[in-house]
Amino acid sequence: MLARARRCLLPAIRVLSASVANRIAAGEVIERPAAAVKELVENALDAGARRISVALTEGGIAAIEVTDDGHGIGSDELTLAIARHATSKLEDDDLVRIATLGFRGEALPSIGAAARLSITSRSRAAPHASRIRVEGGQAFPVEPAAGGPGTRVLVTDFFFATPARRKFLKHPRTEAEHAEAAVRRLALAAPAVAFRLVSDGRTLFDLPTQDAAARSAALLGPEVAARLIPVAAERGLLRLSGFVAAATLTRATTAWQFLVVNHRPVADPVLQAGVRVAYRPVIADGRKPIVALHLTLPLEELDVNVHPAKTELRFRDPASVRALLIGALTHALGGSAATLPPPRLTLTPLRPSPSASAPGFAETSLPLAAPLAARRLEPASPDPAHPLGAGVAQVFGTYIIAVTAADELVLVDQHAAHERLTHEMLRAQHLEHGVRPQPLLLPAVVDLPEADAARIAALGPALEKLGLQLEPFGPGAVLVRALPALLGPAEPAPLIRDLAEEFAESGEGMALAERLDRVLARLSCHGSIRAGRRLSQSEMDALLRQMEATPRAGTCSHGRPTFLKLSRADLERLFGR
């Protein structure tokens, strides 16, 4: 009886009104001003625009204005342009070969349902422009207007028709940042189009038509531009091009990862995973690489009709896409310290304060005869064939100072550098025929928590290929019989405990190949030159030469830089010369 009474209390099913349905649909496509900006700029690109200007007021909440010089919309089509599911992007009902950025016919009606929309457009053949207005889903008649060829779209009072949604918008500054990011991605995807972005009267960028390299440099900034590595690779019908930043330059988020597929900016998990895997051996955990990559493939090889925002794709052969990306980026990052752009210090010249007792002179608070733990060596003449130069000193028993023939000062962290060299040698041995073991004179017993001991013992066969020979030795202990020969006289106990910690952190979900690569990184750390060890002139130079010949020698196995480089101009700027 109670169940029957509850069913009787349920409201009857009814068809939603057109205005409510439009506002619901608008929420799927236009969730914030940045989404409206993205859709309008995509329309401009699809219209063949060669120059696009975007102006924001209060982050787009108060106003969004997008102006282009594309082919425009005829006055007889303006009414149809704001109708839901009306589009000029599809010639037929085929959703397989979609060549345009837009195709759903939802953007303009969705914006018009949530805000006040005005479209002024003029085709090349029209004698004058025409304008149509939509406010909260209500369309007004088309009327003549002033305007040149192209289209001007003005959106004001964002979400005025849906006040509940307006409350969820962030601060105008935050909304402006999201809109700027959307325009930057589209500008990078279309370097042959000039872009201008203005926010609250301030010009954020004004870019002419450019090639891909110049556009990437302009949008990523001078610091990144100086450290970009070109990428070019093919795999069947797939083509990958663009630029990646050196592993020594990373960010805390993926906001600096620009991924473009067939001229469409995307946030695709397949591509993001490929970038992550390629950079994993050369950057620190938690850091994100900087990339600007363009992938092109036949239209029938992907499905773009996956998400209302059109930022996700479905590849017909995602494995090939991922393999191409990982292979291309691994190759690009595989240069030695001689070929990869080195990290540079950000230098701020000292500004001495004038002395009150002696105007025109500067006082310093540096103690006289400050102790410097440096080991001076007889300077060698730098060879132009050696980009890392010749060693001239060792400071604090940790850092090598070298000078190049190009008048550059190079600072090398000897432990970090040797760690990468050892890692690459271990990796090469492992891939070729397994790491060569060195039996211990006396097997070592290493005590561990019982769970850690069991975890390591279970991976015994895989670890043996890395030169580690060990076996269970009762509950909570393992017996170590051999270590990798490349490590030299390493202590078994600290190494095994580090490996146990690594396995505990990585968890069972991590692929075995990745876990083994992390083991190699741990092994290389234990087998490297330690900080505090004094090096001779020949040892310093040998380390520099090995760095110049070793892949990924710009960072250690944990992603930290192995060397820094200062030019003469850098030093003069530091001293205010």
Report pLDDT digits (tens) over 108-125: 888 888 899 999 999 988
- More confident site: 380 or 432: 432
**How far apart are the C-alpha atoms of 286 and 213, rounded to whole Å?**
28
Banded pLDDT at 216 (limits 50, 70, 90): very high
Percent of the chain with pLDDT over 70: 81
**How far apart are the C-alpha atoms of 498 and 320, rounded to whole Å?**
36
Average pLDDT value for residue range 364-374? 38
Q: Is 37 exposed, middle or buried (0-12, 13-18, 19+ CB in 10 A)?
A: buried
User: Is 18-90+100-207 a CATH 3.30.565.10 domain?
Assistant: yes
Banded pLDDT at 455 (limits 50, 70, 90): confident
Report pLDDT digits (tens) over 18-66: 555 555 454 455 889 999 999 999 999 999 999 999 999 999 999 999 9
Pairing relation of β-strands 250-251 and 238-245? unpaired
Whole-number pLDDT of residue 355: 42
What is the token pair recorded at 183? 């325009």
**DSSP code for 422:** H
The alpha-carbon radius of gyration of the chain (Å, integer) is 31
Q: Tell me: pLDDT of 8 over 50.
A: yes
Average pLDDT value for residue range 461-471? 87
What residues contact 369, with CB distance under 8 A and at least 6 apart? none
Average pLDDT value for residue range 358-383? 46
**How far apart are the C-alpha atoms of 485 and 468, rounded to whole Å?**
10
Weakest-pLDDT range from 145-154, 164-173, 369-378, 485-494: 369-378
Hey, where are the domains in the chain? 18-90+100-207, 212-333, 372-577
Residue pair 336/550 in contact (Cβ under 8 Å)? The answer is yes
* Contacts by 427-430, CB closer than 8 A, 24 or more apart: 427/517, 427/520, 429/467, 429/486, 430/465, 430/466, 430/516, 430/520
- The sign of the CA dihedral 141, 144, 150, 155 is negative
Give the dihedral of Cα atoms 418, 420, 426, 430; nearest 10 deg: -170
- More confident site: 281 or 49: 49
Banded pLDDT at 203 (limits 50, 70, 90): very high
Q: In whole angstroms, how far apart are CA 398 and each of 374, 375, 494, 535?
A: 10, 11, 21, 9
Whole-number pLDDT of residue 528: 66
Whole-number pLDDT of residue 557: 82
CATH code for the part of the protein at 212-333: 3.30.230.10
pTM over 0.75: no
Protein fold of 372-577: Ribosomal Protein S8; Chain: A, domain 1 (3.30.1370)
- More confident site: 202 or 17: 202
Q: Alpha carbon 298 to chain centroid distance?
A: 25
Weakest-pLDDT range from 121-130, 351-360, 521-530, 559-568: 351-360
Q: Tell me: pLDDT of 366 over 60.
A: no
Residue pair 78/129 in contact (Cβ under 8 Å)? The answer is no
Q: Tell me: pLDDT of 75 over 70.
A: yes
N-to-C CA span, the chain: 92
What residues contact 340, with CB distance under 8 A and at least 6 apart? 229, 246, 247, 333, 553, 554
- Order of strands across the sheet that contains 408-413: 374-376, 390-395, 399-403, 408-413, 563-567
**How far apart are the C-alpha atoms of 112 and 132, rounded to whole Å?**
11
148: nearest Cα among 129, 172, 135? 129
Average pLDDT value for residue range 498-504? 78
Instruction: Name the β-bridge partners of 563.
Output: 412
Q: Does the fold of domain 372-577 match that of domain 212-333?
A: no
Whole-number pLDDT of residue 11: 65
Average pLDDT value for residue range 253-279? 91
As a residue count, the chain comes to 577
**How far apart are the C-alpha atoms of 61 and 63, rounded to whole Å?**
6
Whole-number pLDDT of residue 186: 96
Whole-number pLDDT of residue 363: 39
Q: Tell me: pLDDT of 350 over 90.
A: no
Banded pLDDT at 97 (limits 50, 70, 90): low
Q: In whole angstroms, how far apart are CA 125 and each of 69, 128, 151?
A: 14, 9, 14
Whole-number pLDDT of residue 397: 83
Whole-number pLDDT of residue 337: 77
Whole-number pLDDT of residue 358: 37
What is the token pair recorded at 300? 């029938």
Percent of the chain with pLDDT over 90: 39
What residues contact 287, with CB distance under 8 A and at least 6 apart? 250, 251, 252, 559
Residue pair 508/515 in contact (Cβ under 8 Å)? The answer is no
Average pLDDT value for residue range 262-286? 89
Instruction: Kindly report the average pLDDT of the chain as a whole number.
Output: 82
